[in-house]
Chains A and B, each alone.
Chain A
Amino acid sequence: MAQATLRHDETGDVPVLGPGHTYGTVTDKISSIVLTEPPRPGWIFGFAVSFVLLLMFLFAVLNLLVRGIGIWGVNVPIGWGFDIVNFVWWIGIGHAGTLISAILLLLRQDWRTSINRFAEAMTLFAVSCAGLYPLLHLGRPWLFYWLLPYPNTMALWPQWRSPLIFDVFAVSTYATVSLLFWYVGLIPDLATLRDRAKSRIGKVIYGFLAMGWRGSARHWHRYRTAYLLLAGLATPLVVSVHTIVALDFTVGIIPGWHTTIFPPYFVAGAIYSGFAMVLTLSIPLRSYYGLKDFITDKHLDNMAKVMLVTGLIVTYGYLMEAFMAWYGGNPYEEFMILKDRPTGPYAHTWWLLLLCNCTIVQLFWFRYFRTHPIWLWVISIVINIGMWLERYVIVVTSLHADFLPSSWGMYHGTIWDYMTYYGSIGLFLTLLFLFIRVLPVISITEMRELVHEVHERGHARGGPAVTPGTAHP
């Protein structure tokens, strides 16, 4: 195997791939996490904690099903609480994956390569968590299928004007396309794992999942076409899903909900939180598994830039919401946006939200914060919290003081709300830990391509000739 080295870009930019990688080292490095290493103590510990949280989630859900929605803090007037807050939050987090995979693919941003697999998996798991909430939040969850247009003896169809029905389709479509996109992208890597697997079971399972991939030119041709098509299909979904989630609120007439700015700023907020979650997860991951050559500071920098842009869009959304509340002259909206949110009983959530989402992100104007992993990690968590608070402010604060002061009320999450919330994080992390162990967290195929591209680029610039080694199966 020929050894080759990759140099820094001549522009001085941090490269998207660490130096010295060949096809073989990339493959070895990424697949080793799955196939050769025994579980590391850190993985075991993380998985154990996540699994305990997952068990707590199952317990909370069981209790919910047995006793009823009343174990949560929801009431009249605040009919939605943590359930919908968490739903929107998870859906938002689920946006980064498809955005990174599809849109950046179409835009030919090669830095996406090392994070797309991971981000897509995160998307899937986040959407799984999100999808549970609308089901669980029903008063009678066992009748969730009534929201689907299925033939029934009552000849009843769903009520198509309700945004909740839009939601059913938007979220399920998004989940399906994301899953397909992710799986199609995995096929060549599954073949690599099949070929490198040493155990019989591994060979059979990976072989089954690889769907007979042999790496022929025809396979590659078809694969490329399908992948691009799916990317094209997924792209509008990035915008549509959170737009429709925003419609859940904008269609309502509640002051604080009924505003046209929600769809665009929900989408921006979703990307914002999605990238924050990618950073939150990938920074420890790359450090722990030594993947810094693949997820480089360049990636961190780019993601921070995306967050800065979306953070500014979100801030603009808040500003316009407040401006329209004043300019529109609707006394209910004026009261809600300009009076109750900043000074009412939930004022602390509002100010905290501004701090987390609008203020702290301004640090990303500085390159130091964009490339410093610790700072990035802390800020990304702060933004995740901020985006959760944003949904809390929208859902709870708007509902707690609407039109008739006689009906105003207060909402506080109960222990079961928190257990369900943290439990769903447990579900998310459990899936993520399993994913790290059984599937390549970075696309081997695409990394090999990247090695090739970087090499070509270096070659064109007159650097020393390097020959990337052929990939060993």
Chain B
Amino acid sequence: MHVPDGFFNAAVSVSAGVVAAAGVAVCLRGAKRELDDRTAPMAGLVAAFVFAVQMLNFPVAAGTSGHLLGGALAAILVGPYTGVLCIAVVLLVQGLFFADGGLTALGVNITLMGLVTVLVGWAVFRVVTKVARGKSAVAVAAFLAALLSVPASALAFTLLFWVGGTAPIDIAAVAGAMGGVHLLIGIGEGLITATTVGAVLAVRPDLVYGYRGMAPALIVNGQPVAPAAAQPVKGGAGPFLLAGLGVTAILASVVSYFASSSPDGLESVAEEKGFIGQAGDHSLGAWGLAEYGEANGVPLWIVGLVGVGITLLVAGAIGYAVRRKKSAVEA
């Protein structure tokens, strides 16, 4: 979804613009490291590829279809910095020439669909490929990365909408609808991303940025030969940890908002219904109350699950990676 003009208030639009500009500036420097002087043509063609791929609609459920965001896919295929640049350029072109996405909302769009999807996707991908290596691990990592990047983007949208949206909507309802639908879309995105990466791996494994340094060494006469020039993916710790922290911060804020807000809504219902004593079972309580409105009950449940699940996964994965490092140092 490309956010149009008038969706967010001026403060959010401007601050998202600043975030997007800073992110793109960092990525311009980073992409030069990833692609050196080939940046312009390579990133340009990959951007055209992302644009084309976004037109591949795939069926989500009966009647509805989604299309790729492509952030995780671009990050895994060409690297996170180039990935952000490609998505940002696609959004810029869509906004300027196709009137898709408002010009004043360009910052919001780049932040949500470029920065968040690539950060989350790449962080998840790095975590999984740290634990397991090889082509099938890359495919699994690509699936998880794309799967989680979509609802993360939707939750970030919800967070922005809560801070500076122009409509008075029950934020839990929005988050739930967004999170639920986008989890479904995420499954499609994950499947397509994993299969696409797998297809490229099968033909030109050297083109997959996320696979660099993982190719098995060539064995000649029983002697391993040093792999060719393709250097492994560098700078794991710093950017990756930052990305992980950013993701955790975003998700934590969303989740913590629900932690603080859901009792408010539920409390009133609980008092009304006279079961305040059983307040322990929040989500189920809301779920079962038809009079309270479906829009409130269903989402909280899904959102809580998605949010907490992602946070736990990221946190657990970070913990696992750190522990591995420690044990490696001790050994």
Bound pair (A, B)? no
Q: Which residues of B contact A (CB under 8 A)?
A: none
Binding site for B on A (CB under 8 A): none
